């Protein structure tokens, strides 16, 4: 039996942060251990253009950076195909065809469309491409006949739309596409250093590349339990974002100890944050070492991408043949 396929992508709109790592990438890495699946992970650079069209100068650099970071956190080119959306021109053809069969109303009621327009209010997003964002995403997914799409909850509406579009194609022409399932990640709730959602537009992120002093200073400036003004006040770890990070980065005994000491005002926030910075540095050390390695071996990175593009392109060409036959064009 043919292997099931898993596919996911990310937009290269900026540096990756710890939210991306725990919210998505760790899951991608984890899925590599299941030999029932084939995996495809791609950089959605055309999708980056939907919001960054007026200044596209960083997309290319962000794309290479993104792949370097994927490799650094443990994506393995022998077990996952990594490729670049814009290198596989078939995505554009399928996007066009799907746009013919997608009712406008499906796109207009898409919740992320409305949300992103408000969130990115400084950009003019009243474009055809931005409204059609989920149609391109549907093309990305069904091109590879993906069965599973590992994403965060924020992407659920897009996967749902993909399912509807795939069903509609199958109904109108011929049963070509499996209906993909979202594979939700169990995301620990990690907030940015100011206590809001970690997002590069809020400038509150800890990046995968942050280390040394930069990392120490960011953690030093994190918001803590708002009720705890002085070191002599007892704190409440459950209300503290620093503690949420300790839960991920520190061993269980240390987490328990910090919780106890915080509640009885035995540890101060400065000390608590210093320990967190040490733990994150320790955990990220191998990632940072691999980042350094790949930055000095860019040729290797480009070869991995070229190889991935070839594998993805072969599948995309076959699917497009089938699609053209189905619609008799
Ligand atoms: N919309 C996704 C995001 O912003 C990126 C994306 C594009 C994607 N195409 C995809 C994710 C296909 C999964 C599958 O994160
Ligand atoms: Fe948060 Fe640590 Fe301060 Fe307690 S001691 S409030 S857990 S930073």
Q: Per residue in 76-87, pLDDT tens?
A: 999 999 999 999
**In the prediction, which pLDDT does 87 show?**
98
Position 200 in a domain:
no
Out of 272, 274, 279, mutate this one to test ligand 2's pocket (max ligand atoms within 8 Å of CB): namely: 272
Position 148 in a domain:
yes
Evaluate if residue 1 carries a pLDDT over 70. no
Residue 70 — pLDDT band, cuts 50, 70, 90? Answer: very high
- Same domain, residue pair 113 and 85: yes
CATH code: domain of residue 280 = 1.10.240.10
**Which is the closest atom of ligand 2 to the Cα of 237?**
7
- Same domain, residue pair 159 and 306: yes
CA of 227 to the centre of ligand 1 (A): 39
Evaluate if residue 258 carries a pLDDT over 90. yes
- Same domain, residue pair 254 and 185: no
Q: Ligand 1: residues whose CB is within 6 Å?
A: 7-11, 44, 47, 137, 140-141, 149, 151, 155, 158
Nearest one of 39, 40, 321, 41 to 176, comparing CA atoms: 321
**In the prediction, which pLDDT does 49 show?**
95
- Is residue 39 a contact partner of residue 9, using CB atoms and an 8 Å limit? no
Residue 161 — pLDDT band, cuts 50, 70, 90? Answer: very high
For the chain, give the percent of residues with pLDDT over 90. Answer: 84
- Is residue 140 a contact partner of residue 207, using CB atoms and an 8 Å limit? no
Position 178 in a domain:
yes
Q: Is the CB of 272 under 6 A from ligand 2?
A: yes
Evaluate if residue 159 carries a pLDDT over 70. yes
Position 75 in a domain:
yes
Evaluate if residue 17 carries a pLDDT over 90. yes
- Same domain, residue pair 304 and 257: no
CB atoms within 10 A of CB 104: 9
- Same domain, residue pair 62 and 99: yes
pTM for the complete prediction? 0.94
Task: Please give the residue range of the domain that contains residue 230.
Answer: 210-292
In order, the DSSP letters of 192-234 are -TTSSBP-GGGT-PPBTT--HHHHHHHHHT----TT--STTS-
- Same domain, residue pair 163 and 46: yes
- Same domain, residue pair 109 and 217: no
Out of 218, 228, 245, 260, mutate this one to test ligand 2's pocket (max ligand atoms within 8 Å of CB): namely: 228
Domain count, the chain: 2
CATH code: domain of residue 173 = 3.40.50.620
- Same domain, residue pair 70 and 174: yes
**In the prediction, which pLDDT does 71 show?**
98
* Average pLDDT in the chain: 94
- Is residue 322 a contact partner of residue 100, using CB atoms and an 8 Å limit? no
């Amino acid at each position: 039996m043919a292997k099931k396929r898993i596919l996911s992508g990310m937009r290269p709109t900026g540096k990756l942060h710890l939210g991306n790592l725990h919210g998505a990438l760790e899951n991608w890495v984890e899925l590599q251990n299941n030999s029932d699946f084939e995996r495809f992970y791609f950089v959605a650079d055309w999708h980056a253009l939907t919001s960054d069209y007026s200044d596209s100068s960083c997309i290319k650099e962000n794309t290479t950076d993104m792949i370097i970071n994927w490799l650094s956190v443990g994506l393995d080119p022998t077990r996952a195909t990594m490729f670049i959306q814009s290198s596989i021109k078939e995505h554009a053809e399928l996007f066009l065809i799907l746009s013919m069969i997608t009712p406008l109303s499906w796109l207009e009621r898409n919740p992320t469309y409305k949300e992103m327009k408000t969130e990115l209010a400084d950009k003019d997003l009243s474009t055809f491409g931005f409204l059609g964002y989920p149609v391109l995403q549907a093309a990305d997914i069904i091109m590879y006949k993906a069965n599973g799409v590992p994403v965060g909850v924020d992407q659920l509406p897009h996967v749902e739309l993909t399912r509807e579009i795939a069903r509609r194609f199958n109904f109108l022409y011929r049963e070509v596409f499996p209906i993909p399932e979202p594979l939700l990640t169990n995301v620990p709730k990690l907030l940015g250093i100011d206590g809001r959602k970690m997002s590069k537009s809020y400038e509150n992120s800890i990046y995968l590349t942050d280390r040394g002093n930069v990392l120490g200073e960011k953690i030093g400036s994190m918001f803590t339990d708002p009720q705890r003004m002085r070191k002599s006040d007892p704190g409440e770890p459950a209300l503290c974002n620093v503690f949420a990070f300790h839960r991920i980065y520190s061993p269980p005994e240390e987490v328990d100890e910090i919780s106890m000491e915080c509640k009885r005002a035995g540890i101060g926030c400065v000390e608590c944050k210093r320990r967190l910075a040490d733990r994150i540095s320790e955990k990220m050390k191998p990632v940072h070492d691999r980042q350094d390695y790949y930055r000095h071996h860019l040729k290797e990175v480009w070869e991995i991408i070229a190889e991935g593009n070839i594998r993805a392109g072969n599948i995309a060409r076959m699917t497009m043949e089938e699609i053209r036959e189905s619609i008799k064009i």
